[in-house]
């Protein structure tokens, strides 16, 4: 299912004659089964590269350049873009499958891919036939451009519904100067999607979303990124100084974009990446238990029951993500904006992050000291450090506090199928 169809916003694609037609990686008329197999094969290629370099990326807290180069050469960055713009028309379930597969290999690569695809979904679903954004879609497919995200600002933490910096407009030109607390892969990205107040006299909640390409901005580093986990996301803080055309602003207000796309797609792609990290830890624990049993004439190690628990929790986590993706894909604009959907997608993030940590902890308990060691092939350390970022990325406390009023107002469903 194409991600565009969920809100019925089929882009009226006016062929942009400025740009040469771009080759698509999927031959027109190819069957959906072949397309799916092709995407799986290309994803596996990228995941294998990501896995090879994951430890070194983590150790050096460096950008996973090999994995992202592989994603570019396998043309994974523009998969959601419709065929007519040079993409493959992939849906949210395809994208989350890629996030999961990459998460098993390298959490930072998966999170970078998840953030990029969230930005792509914003442009796709809310560019509304705007020529500048259509050109961008073609360029992402043709040149495999990587888009970063700047939402967190100054001291406001994870409150993305308020902005301090404002767009300044003069004739058709805009400028923006923003103290971005963190911009993952800010240095490496080809563009950044950022929010801002609509104008200097606008309220903090009167926000717009704007896309700037690398030649439009400078980044002055304010703070580095030496963290417990997700070290390869290179999420340093920057002063962002950007100029561009008025057309680079997405036409719809951020409030609408947030409800229909930003929040749900971020939570779906992130949770898919965390599920992948959890799955990677379970696989290591399984290999450890097998190896321990082999060495003891088939006698299972004492922690083996924790592997069962890790598997059980992973099943629940995967089902949680899959059902949330299905719900998103089946929702029209009104359903996406409903209080029930918004609450569900926010709580999905909280549940998925907590469950992902529980899975990794069970995997660690299954493998004991061997899993605790950093110098073991069965080490769970990197997965644990990476997955501990999950409650912080838009803090679970903030989400739970914001959902308190709707929790108080909505009654408990009367039936299991409600
Ligand atoms: C790996 C990673 C990558 C990231 N990449 C980006 C990026 O590319 N671009 C970007 O803009 N941002 C990015 N972020 C930032 C992220 O999206 C959040 O904005 C940020 O993590 C929130 O930081 P915080 O916990 O300090 O802020 P807050 O949400 O303000 O939380 C601060 C503290 O206050 C508590 N708290 C907050 N609200 C409440 C409440 N209502 N009730 C009780 N307690 C509360 C929290 O528990 C927490 O301890 C990234 C974060 C991570 C971890």
Mutate which of 99, 109, 155, 157 for ligand 1? The one with the most ligand atoms within 8 Å of its CB, which is 157
Give 159 Cα–ligand 1 centroid separation in angstroms: 8
DSSP 213: E
Give the DSSP per-residue string, 260-301: IIIHHHHHHHHHHHHHHHHHHHHHHHHHHHHHHHHHTTTPPP
Cβ 322 vs Cβ 287: under 8 Å: no
* CA distance readout (Å), 32 to 89, 147, 327: 11, 27, 21
Q: Is the CB of 184 under 6 A from ligand 1?
A: yes
Give 96 Cα–ligand 1 centroid separation in angstroms: 22
In this predicted structure, what is the pLDDT of residue 8? Answer: 35
Q: Is the CB of 152 under 6 A from ligand 1?
A: yes
3-class SS of residue 65: helix
Which residue's C-alpha comes closest to atom 52 of ligand 1?
Answer: 393
Pick the residue with more confidence: 363 or 8?
A: 363
Model confidence at 410, in pLDDT bands (50, 70, 90)?
Answer: confident
Q: For 24-69, how does the pLDDT look when each residue is reduced to its tens digit (9 = 90+)?
A: 333 344 678 898 999 999 999 999 999 999 999 999 999 999 999 9
- pLDDT over threshold 90, residue 306: yes
Which residue's C-alpha comes closest to atom 43 of ligand 1?
Answer: 397
Q: For 171-226, how does the pLDDT look when each residue is reduced to its tens digit (9 = 90+)?
A: 999 999 999 999 999 999 999 999 999 999 999 999 999 999 999 999 999 999 99
Ligand 1 atom showing the smallest separation from residue 180 Cα = 11
- pLDDT over threshold 60, residue 252: yes
Ligand 1 atom showing the smallest separation from residue 230 Cα = 1
* CA distance readout (Å), 345 to 100, 327, 349: 18, 10, 7
The C-alpha atoms of residue 138 and residue 239 are separated, in whole angstroms, by 29
- Stretch 71-81: mean pLDDT: 98
In this predicted structure, what is the pLDDT of residue 418? Answer: 75
DSSP 157: T
- pLDDT over threshold 60, residue 23: no
Residue 238, beta-bridge partner list: 180, 221
**Which residues, other chains included, contact 374 with Cβ-Cβ below 8 Å and sequence gap of 6+?**
381
- pLDDT over threshold 80, residue 99: yes
Q: Is the CB of 151 under 6 A from ligand 1?
A: yes
The C-alpha atoms of residue 283 and residue 100 are separated, in whole angstroms, by 14
Mutate which of 63, 158, 178, 258 for ligand 1? The one with the most ligand atoms within 8 Å of its CB, which is 158
- pLDDT over threshold 90, residue 12: no
Q: Is the CB of 158 under 6 A from ligand 1?
A: yes
Per residue in 208-223, is it b (16+ CB within 10 Å) or e — as a string?
A: bbbbbbeebbebeeee
Residue with tokens 């100084």, as numbered in its chain? 241
Mean pLDDT, all residues of the chain: 91
Ligand 1 atom showing the smallest separation from residue 186 Cα = 8
User: CA nearest 45: which of 98, 87, 6?
Assistant: 98
Written as six digits, the tokens of 204 are 């903090």
In this predicted structure, what is the pLDDT of residue 243? Answer: 98
In this predicted structure, what is the pLDDT of residue 1? Answer: 41
- Stretch 389-407: mean pLDDT: 93
- Stretch 163-168: mean pLDDT: 96
Model confidence at 387, in pLDDT bands (50, 70, 90)?
Answer: very high
Model confidence at 156, in pLDDT bands (50, 70, 90)?
Answer: low
In this predicted structure, what is the pLDDT of residue 157? Answer: 67
In this predicted structure, what is the pLDDT of residue 3? Answer: 45
Percent of the chain with pLDDT over 70: 92
Q: What is the largest CA-CA distance in the chain?
A: 78
Ligand 1 atom showing the smallest separation from residue 401 Cα = 41
Cβ 260 vs Cβ 333: under 8 Å: yes
Model confidence at 21, in pLDDT bands (50, 70, 90)?
Answer: very low
Q: Is the CB of 236 under 6 A from ligand 1?
A: no
In this predicted structure, what is the pLDDT of residue 30? Answer: 64
Mutate which of 99, 152, 273, 403 for ligand 1? The one with the most ligand atoms within 8 Å of its CB, which is 152
For the entire predicted model, the pTM comes to 0.92
- pLDDT over threshold 60, residue 283: yes
Mutate which of 392, 394, 400, 401 for ligand 1? The one with the most ligand atoms within 8 Å of its CB, which is 392
Written as six digits, the tokens of 244 are 């561009």
Written as six digits, the tokens of 319 are 């089902």
In this predicted structure, what is the pLDDT of residue 405? Answer: 87
3-class SS of residue 391: coil
Pick the residue with more confidence: 39 or 411?
A: 39
Q: Please, what sign has the CA dihedral across residues 156, 394, 104, 308? A: positive
Residue 149, beta-bridge partner list: 193
Written as six digits, the tokens of 205 are 């909640």
* CA distance readout (Å), 324 to 162, 320, 327, 368: 26, 6, 5, 33
Locate all alpha helices (DSSP H) within 147-195, ordered by sequence: none
Percent of the chain with pLDDT over 90: 85
Q: Is the CB of 396 under 6 A from ligand 1?
A: no
Q: Within a 10 A sphere around the Cβ of 415, how many other Cβ atoms?
A: 5
- Stretch 331-358: mean pLDDT: 96
In this predicted structure, what is the pLDDT of residue 411? Answer: 87
User: CA nearest 83: which of 28, 129, 4, 7?
Assistant: 28
Give 157 Cα–ligand 1 centroid separation in angstroms: 5
- pLDDT over threshold 60, residue 361: yes
Q: Is the CB of 305 under 6 A from ligand 1?
A: no
């Amino acid at each position: 299912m194409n991600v565009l169809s969920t809100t019925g916003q089929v882009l009226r694609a006016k062929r942009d004659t400025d740009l040469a037609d771009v080759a698509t990686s999927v031959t027109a008329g190819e069957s959906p089964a072949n397309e799916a197999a092709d995407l799986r094969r290309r994803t596996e290629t990228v995941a294998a590269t990501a896995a090879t370099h994951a430890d070194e990326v983590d150790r050096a807290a460096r950008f996973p350049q090999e994995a992202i180069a592989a994603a570019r050469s396998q043309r994974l960055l523009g998969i959601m873009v419709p065929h007519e713009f040079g993409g493959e028309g992939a849906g949210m379930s395809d994208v989350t499958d890629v996030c999961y597969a990459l998460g098993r290999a390298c959490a930072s690569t998966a999170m970078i891919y998840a953030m990029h695809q969230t930005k792509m979904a914003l442009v796709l679903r809310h560019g509304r036939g705007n020529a500048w954004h259509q050109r961008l879609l073609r360029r992402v497919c043709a040149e495999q451009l990587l888009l970063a995200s700047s939402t967190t600002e100054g001291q406001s933490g994870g409150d993305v519904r308020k902005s301090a910096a404002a767009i300044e407009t003069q004739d058709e030109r805009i400028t923006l100067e923003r103290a971005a607390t963190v911009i993952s892969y800010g240095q490496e990205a080809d563009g950044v999607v950022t929010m801002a107040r609509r104008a200097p006299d606008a309220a903090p909640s009167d926000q717009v979303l704007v896309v700037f390409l690398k030649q439009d901005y400078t980044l002055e580093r304010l703070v580095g990124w030496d963290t417990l986990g997700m070290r390869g996301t290179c999420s340093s803080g920057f002063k962002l100084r950007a100029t561009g055309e008025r057309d680079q602003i997405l036409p719809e207000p951020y409030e609408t974009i947030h409800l229909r796309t930003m929040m749900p797609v971020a939570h779906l792609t992130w949770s898919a990446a965390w599920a992948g990290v959890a799955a990677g830890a379970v696989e290591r624990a399984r290999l450890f238990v097998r190896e321990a049993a082999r060495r003891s004439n088939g006698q299972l190690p004492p922690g083996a029951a924790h592997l069962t628990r890790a598997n059980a929790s992973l099943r629940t986590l995967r089902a949680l993500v899959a059902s949330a993706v299905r719900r998103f894909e089946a929702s029209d604009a009104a359903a996406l904006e409903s209080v029930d959907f918004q609450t569900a997608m926010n709580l999905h993030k909280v549940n998925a992050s907590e469950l992902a940590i529980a899975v990794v902890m069970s995997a660690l308990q299954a493998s004991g000291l061997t899993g605790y060691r950093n110098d073991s092939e069965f080490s769970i350390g990197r997965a644990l450090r990476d997955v501990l970022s999950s409650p912080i990325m838009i803090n679970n406390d903030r989400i739970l506090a914001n959902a308190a009023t709707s929790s108080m107002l909505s009654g408990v469903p009367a039936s299991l199928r409600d």
